[in-house]
């Protein structure tokens, strides 16, 4: 049938439809268009891969018809089709991503059109197994797994496997009626030999924190290695002026803003949140969370907090990760009255929580706000200080306990040495990503997430920072800087500040190296690397090798050096200092890297760290 006859037929059908309108429902314009027919035609062309090579045995089909063919050995094909308003041709072959091409009828010339698709290799695989966490972790059948447009349902073995994938970022969703939906983010860097094996994924378990099952906590919650966390840069000498390390080290859910006075937990307040998130006095609306080992030395939790737009309801929820049947337990607050009507205070108050019941256990812990009543959209609870200690901490003080005798004024305690969690990581980045503002009153928030999520074990999210007399200064595109005050006397005993972390030393990681620089060719920076055993013995370490422009030992185990070169774009130009830790093999130690005020100068002296590696 030619085009003119097709149009006449269409008019005739339309007239008949009008005559019978009282008896038949009318078709929509789109339905009529879909039924139009422009006769027969031919689609032809050549199929190649992204390298330009022709591909044989590619299946060519047309949606809504039986027309099909395959490409020949030289990648060419020709297929007769019925021309309609739109023709959708699909090109499919195992190991390649399917390509669909839509051709309007107007693109056929003389009944012919040429399509030359390019197929991308798609031989990657994402696989895993879903287990029923509510019934002894047996394989979970009937779970719908989806990645993009691909979807499948698990069988009796609980296994899902997505094949013919290109290597890119994916979002995996697992759904089943009556079970909590699980979402996993898969990055292109997660593919190893073109495969991602997610292993066993528990599903069907209870919702413990809002949107988090036990499996989510095991997969996503960061370890809280330290016993002290500070948020916000304002309000006194114990708070760093440029950074909120609390934000870098706890995982965040909900609406969080890093303010100068503290890390503010805010009720989710976008218009969609107001419409879709009702009052919930069980699950926290906005919260921070992590995993912590509890000991006799850190069993008392103190949360230093205030409110904006009170009254606010917030609390601490704990999950015993060692339990056979974990439950989310909201802890009673012991220091102040129970705020059944919320609390409202422009001053920071200390809320105290007893974790004694969890000594010897690993817990997941969340600190967050509740959407207690309709209209609680802008309520905020800024957190300034969170501590785990052998006694409750007063105000914004340092941790309670027995100060390490060998290091007076360092604010490290013997209890802290024992209760800190050993850091299992071996390489730590210390530079700040480009395009990230890290100080001032603008753009609070993204930089801390960048340290946690975009950098490889950033020192700000993996080590503790101890403010003694001076703050940090994270230079964008440079290493993280700790520095001295200007115009004060030399002090080779007490550092101005230092980084510290706990490690289990073995033959596999009995050396440490870090890359550093300073900002002067005439004014040396003084630093000290200290190893502390858990009995409180402290030893200043001397490098066995370095390539600084100049470096020499000075008083009390400190070293001074000058090395002005090195940047994010040229990390090898930093000076490298190497240390031997083999004498501590088989032991847990706390390593400290601190900056000291050396020769008297009016200005600051700076220690810029690019990265730290144990090997």
Domains in the chain, ordered, with CATH? 36-119 (2.60.40.10), 124-205 (2.60.40.1120), 228-401 (2.60.120.260), 427-614 (2.60.120)
Region of poorest pLDDT, from 35-44, 263-272, 315-324, 594-603: 35-44
pLDDT given at position 242: 60
Separation of alpha carbons 614 and 140, rounded Å: 41
For residue 600, count other CB atoms closer than 10 A to its CB: 10
Average pLDDT over residues 121-131: 94
**CA gap 359, 354 in Å, rounded:** 10
Which pLDDT band, with edges at 50, 70 and 90, does 434 fall under? low
The helix/strand/coil state of 414 is helix
pLDDT at residue 102 in the model: 95
Smallest CA-to-CA distance from 391 within 352, 337, 338 is with: 352
Are 351 and 343 contacting, i.e. CB atoms less than 8 angstroms apart?
A: no
Count Cα atoms within 13 angstroms, Cβ side, for 414. 8
User: Which pLDDT score is estimated for 15?
Assistant: 35
Mean pLDDT of the chain: 85
State the Cα–Cα distance between residues 95 and 278, nearest whole angstrom. 46
* Predicted confidence band of residue 16 (pLDDT cuts 50, 70, 90): very low
Give the pLDDT mean for 312-327: 92
pLDDT at 243: 65
Q: What is the per-residue pLDDT for 569?
A: 80
Candidates 355, 352, 32; CA nearest to 224 is 355
In what helix (H) or strand (E) does residue 9 lie, and over which residues does it extend?
helix 3-19
Q: What is the pLDDT of residue 551?
A: 97
Residue 18's pLDDT band, with cuts at 50, 70 and 90, is very low
The pLDDT, as a whole number, for residue 335 is 56
Residue 19 has pLDDT above 60, yes or no: no
Torsion of CA 390, 391, 392, 397, to 10 degrees: -90
> Tens digit of pLDDT for each residue in 248-295?
789 999 998 877 777 889 998 888 777 778 888 899 999 999 999 999
Of the listed ranges 115-129, 433-447, 490-504, 589-603, the least confidently predicted one is 433-447
Of the candidates 525, 498, 494, which has an alpha carbon nearest to the alpha carbon of residue 592?
Answer: 498
Euclidean distance between CA atoms 209 and 283, whole angstroms: 6
- Report the C-alpha gap between 425 and 512 in whole angstroms: 12
pLDDT score, position 269? 85
334: which strand partners? none
Q: What is the DSSP string of 254-289?
A: SEEEEETTEEEEE---SHHHHHH---BSSS-SEEEE
d(CA 295, CA 56) in angstroms, rounded, equals 65
Give SS3 for 556: helix
Separation between Cα atoms, residue 509 and residue 582, nearest integer Å: 8
* Interval 186-209: pLDDT, tens: 998 899 999 999 999 988 878 899
The Cα–Cα gap between 144 and 125 comes to: 17
Query: In terms of residues, how long is the chain?
Result: 615
Q: First and final CA of the chain: distance in angstroms?
A: 77
CA dihedral sign, ordered 478, 482, 485, 489? negative
Three-class DSSP category at 526: strand
What CA–CA distance (Å, rounded) separates 323 from 357?
13
Name the CA radius of gyration of the chain, rounded: 32
Look at residue 190 and give its three-state secondary structure: helix
């Amino acid at each position: 049938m030619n085009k003119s006859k097709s149009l006449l037929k269409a008019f005739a059908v339309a007239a008949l439809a009008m005559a019978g309108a009282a008896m038949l429902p009318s078709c929509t314009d789109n339905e009529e268009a879909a039924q139009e027919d422009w006769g027969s035609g031919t689609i032809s062309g050549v199929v190649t891969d992204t390298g330009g090579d022709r591909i044989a045995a590619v299946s060519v089909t047309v949606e809504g018809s039986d027309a099909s063919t395959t490409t020949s050995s030289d990648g060419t094909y020709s297929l007769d089709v019925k021309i309609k308003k739109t023709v959708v041709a699909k090109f499919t072959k195992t190991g390649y991503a399917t390509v669909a091409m839509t051709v309007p009828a107007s693109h056929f010339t003389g009944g012919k059109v040429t399509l030359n698709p390019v197929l991308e290799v798609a031989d990657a695989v994402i696989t895993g197994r879903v287990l029923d966490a509510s019934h002894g972790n047996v394989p979970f059948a009937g779970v719908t797994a989806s990645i993009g447009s691909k979807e499948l349902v698990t069988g009796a073995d609980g296994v899902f496997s997505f094949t013919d994938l290109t290597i890119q970022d994916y979002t995996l969703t697992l759904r089943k009626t009556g079970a909590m939906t699980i979402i996993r983010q898969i990055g292109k860097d997660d593919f190893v030999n073109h495969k991602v094996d997610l292993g066993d994924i528990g599903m069907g378990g209870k919702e413990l924190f809002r949107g988090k099952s036990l499996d989510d906590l095991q997969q996503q919650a960061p370890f809280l290695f330290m016993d002290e966390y500070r948020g916000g840069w304002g309000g006194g000498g114990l708070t760093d002026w440029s950074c909120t390390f609390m934000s870098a080290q706890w995982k965040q859910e909900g609406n969080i803003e890093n303010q100068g006075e503290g890390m503010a937990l805010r009720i989710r307040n976008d218009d969609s949140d107001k419409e879709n998130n009702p009052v919930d006095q069980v699950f926290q609306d906005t919260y921070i969370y992590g995993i912590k080992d509890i000991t006799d030395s850190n069993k008392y939790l103190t949360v230093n907090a205030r409110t904006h737009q009170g009254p606010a309801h917030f609390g601490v929820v704990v999950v015993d990760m060692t339990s056979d049947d974990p439950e989310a337990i909201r802890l009673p607050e012991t220091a102040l009255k129970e705020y059944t009507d919320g609390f409202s205070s422009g001053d920071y108050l200390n809320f105290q929580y007893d974790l004694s019941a969890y000594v010897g256990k690993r817990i997941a812990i969340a600190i967050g706000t509740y959407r207690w009543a309709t209209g609680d959209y802008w309520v905020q609870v800024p957190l300034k200080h969170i501590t785990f200690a052998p006694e409750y901490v007063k105000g914004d003080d340092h941790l309670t306990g027995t100060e390490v005798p060998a290091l007076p004024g360092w604010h490290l305690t013997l209890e802290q040495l024992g209760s800190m969690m050993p850091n299992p990581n071996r390489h730590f980045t210390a530079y700040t990503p480009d395009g990230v503002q890290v100080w001032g009153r603008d753009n609070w928030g993204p930089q801390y997430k960048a340290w946690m999520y975009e950098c490889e074990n950033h020192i700000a999210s993996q080590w503790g920072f101890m403010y003694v007399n001076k703050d940090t200064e994270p230079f964008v595109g440079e290493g993280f800087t700790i520095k001295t005050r200007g115009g004060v006397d030399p002090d080779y005993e007490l550092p101005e500040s230092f980084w510290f972390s706990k490690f289990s030393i073995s033959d596999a990681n009995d050396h440490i190296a870090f890359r550093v620089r300073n900002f002067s060719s005439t004014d040396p920076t003084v630093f000290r690397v200290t190893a502390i055993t858990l009995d409180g013995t402290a030893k200043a370490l001397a490098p066995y090798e370095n390539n600084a422009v100049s470096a020499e030992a000075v008083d009390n185990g400190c070293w001074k050096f000058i090395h002005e070169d090195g940047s994010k774009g040229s990390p090898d130009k930093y000076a490298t200092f190497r240390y031997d830790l083999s004498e501590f093999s088989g032991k847990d130690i706390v390593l400290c890297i601190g900056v000291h005020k050396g020769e008297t100068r009016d200005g600051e002296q700076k220690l810029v760290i690019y990265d730290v590696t144990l090997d």
